[in-house]
Amino acid sequence: MTTALLPYVLGAAVLLLASVFASRFTRFGIPALLLFMAVGMLAGSDGPGGIPFDNAGLAQGLGVVSLAFILFSGGLDTLWGDVRPILGRGVVLATVGVALTATLTGLFAWAITDLPFLHALLLGSIVSSTDAAAVFSVLRSRNVRLEPRLRSLLEFESGSNDPMAVFLTVTMIGVIASPETTSVPGLAGGFVWQMVCGALLGIVAGRLAANTINRIELGYDGLYPVLVMGMLLLTYGVTDLVRGNPFLAVYVAGIAMRRESFVHKRSLVRFYDGIAWLAQIVMFLTLGLLVFPSQLPAIAAEGFGVAVFLTLVARPLAVVLLLLPFRMPWREVTLTSWVGLRGAAPIILATFPLVAGITQADRLFAIVFFIVLTSALVQGTSVPWVARRLKLSLPDTGPAIDPLELISAGEREFLDVRVREGSALAGRRLLELGLPPGALVVVLDRGGHTMVPSGGTELKQGDKLLVMAGRSDLERVRALLAG
């Protein structure tokens, strides 16, 4: 058994390491998604790697699961305070904007290709949404620094518009497969149910996850990420079971969970950031393996034409029309139009017609892949330059400060606190003390043994605490710890 698995283990190791090392080229402005897909294409059937892979069903399954983790991580790393001011325009772009982009792109594809009308609309639906993984990786790289409100709009739109694209794609596949069973009222009702159900279940799941983490006392810290993973998968499965939109549910769950206070919050955010990168690598590698580069020249002309129209006409027109009532500055509207990166989500959706057995599905997949490559090469590499030209790029503040440097920052003070006999602090967890966000219990001394406590650490009589707090919070911290 070991011998049989060895080639797969070694192959997976080589592909993962190659993707990680390739990510260093992002410093030259090359999007990570393009590098990961390039590794997959080089390793695939048409590349020097020669790995035979044409299982669209497996690629779809891996892509869907990976996208769920990426969306959850994106939500978990999003502050509600940043989302609230742009919620209205973000929702409009993620719903009406996607539908308008899909319609315009589909009509153009029908005009310049010999695709049937419904197949052209299916193509427009597949490429209608911006990709969360692509936008997150580009905007959170060191090359792009935007004002928080604008960055939040771009990230929120990309994280929440995939559900609309999924709905449109599945709907068009259903119309092509059996047009006689499709009704407009049924489609409208299904859409409303998917969005509302997905959003509500996401809110409930996020709050439930945070509450569960605080109430359950696991014997090992390493089990908390596993607990959250189980609840994430449960959220996806239950939402899909009741015909809600599972992608919206996991994204909203991440945002709702981030709003709550729970133990191991910082470590969980970092853990799922790593999981999101692993999911991106797996997803883009798999999709790179699935494509046959030798098929791309045959559709290059029509693929390029659709890509240009999508980038320069359909996306900008939809953004300008829908953001006009919000009176956004024209420079921000321009950048929003340009940051319409297509990535893994359209390629995953392009596997849906393959699995469903729709005619010309292979051709649609090749066209979609070509559009994604064009978007990654043109838009992905030029976002930093466009942001600077529009004077929306913030100055680089240099590398992040190491936490240990805060000790000598001059803006913080240290307090020594002892939990004395009869103190009200005894038996309470740090999370329940209500310390200000800037206050941190650095060290806990218990019977001569020191430890770095977490939010779930329960205080006992005789404990000694070293608390670091900002000068403006000192009096409040003293009052809370008076005991």
Residues 6+ apart with CB under 8 A from 23: 32, 35, 36
Q: Determine the distance from the C-alpha atom of residue 266 to the mean position of all C-alpha atoms in its chain, rounded to a whole number.
A: 18
Do 380 and 356 sit in the same domain of this protein?
A: yes
Do 214 and 312 sit in the same domain of this protein?
A: yes
Do 384 and 407 sit in the same domain of this protein?
A: no
Domain boundary residue, one of 361, 389, 417:
389
pLDDT over 80 (residue 325): yes
Cα–Cα distance between 68 and 246 in angstroms, integer? 8
Cα–Cα distance between 314 and 306 in angstroms, integer? 10
Residues 6+ apart with CB under 8 A from 353: 122, 173, 361, 364, 365
Do 200 and 305 sit in the same domain of this protein?
A: yes
Q: Which long-range contacts (CB under 8 A, 24 or more apart) does 208-216 make?
A: 209/253, 209/257, 210/257, 210/260, 210/261, 210/262, 211/260, 211/262, 213/262, 213/263, 213/264, 214/261, 214/262, 214/263, 214/431, 214/456
Cα–Cα distance between 145 and 139 in angstroms, integer? 7
Identify the pLDDT of residue 143: 58
Residue 282 placed within a domain? yes
Domain boundary residue, one of 389, 420, 453:
389
- Give 117 or 140, the one with higher predicted confidence: 117
Do 369 and 414 sit in the same domain of this protein?
A: no
Cα–Cα distance between 89 and 91 in angstroms, integer? 5
Cα–Cα distance between 470 and 451 in angstroms, integer? 22
Identify the pLDDT of residue 334: 93
Number of structural domains found in the chain? 2
Residue 395 placed within a domain? no
Ranking 115-119, 136-140, 207-211, 227-231 by mean pLDDT, the lowest is: 136-140
Range from 51-55, 56-60, 212-216, 292-296 that averages highest in pLDDT: 212-216
Do 473 and 335 sit in the same domain of this protein?
A: no
Q: How crowded is residue 94: how many other Cβ atoms within 10 Å of its Cβ?
A: 23
Residue 394 placed within a domain? no
Residue 398 placed within a domain? no
pTM assigned to the model: 0.74
pLDDT over 90 (residue 234): yes
DSSP label of 329? -
User: Mean pLDDT across the stretch 404-409?
Assistant: 43
Do 318 and 460 sit in the same domain of this protein?
A: no
Ranking 42-46, 147-151, 349-353, 451-455 by mean pLDDT, the lowest is: 42-46
Domain boundary residue, one of 329, 357, 389:
389
User: Between the CA atoms of 131, 132, 137 and 139, what dihedral angle is there, to the nearest 10 degrees?
Assistant: 90
Q: Would you list the DSSP string of 4-27?
A: HHHHHHHHHHHHHHHHHHHGGGGG
Cα–Cα distance between 308 and 314 in angstroms, integer? 9
Do 367 and 422 sit in the same domain of this protein?
A: no
Residue 192 placed within a domain? yes
Do 365 and 472 sit in the same domain of this protein?
A: no
Instruction: Give the three-state DSSP class for 261.
Output: coil
- pLDDT per residue over 45-89, tens digit each? 777 777 777 787 888 888 888 889 988 988 888 777 778 888 889
**What's the pLDDT band for 406 if we cut at 50, 70, 90?**
very low
Identity of the amino acid at 69: F
CATH number at residue 169: 1.20.1530.20
Do 271 and 408 sit in the same domain of this protein?
A: no
Residue 463 placed within a domain? yes
Residue 396 placed within a domain? no
Residue 435 placed within a domain? yes
Residue range(s) defining the domain that contains residue 437: 403-480
Identify the pLDDT of residue 140: 64
Q: Is 247 left (phi over 0), alpha (psi -120 to 50) or beta?
A: alpha
CATH number at residue 467: 3.30.70.1450
**What's the pLDDT band for 181 if we cut at 50, 70, 90?**
low
Mean pLDDT of the residues in the chain: 83
Do 43 and 163 sit in the same domain of this protein?
A: yes
Do 368 and 409 sit in the same domain of this protein?
A: no
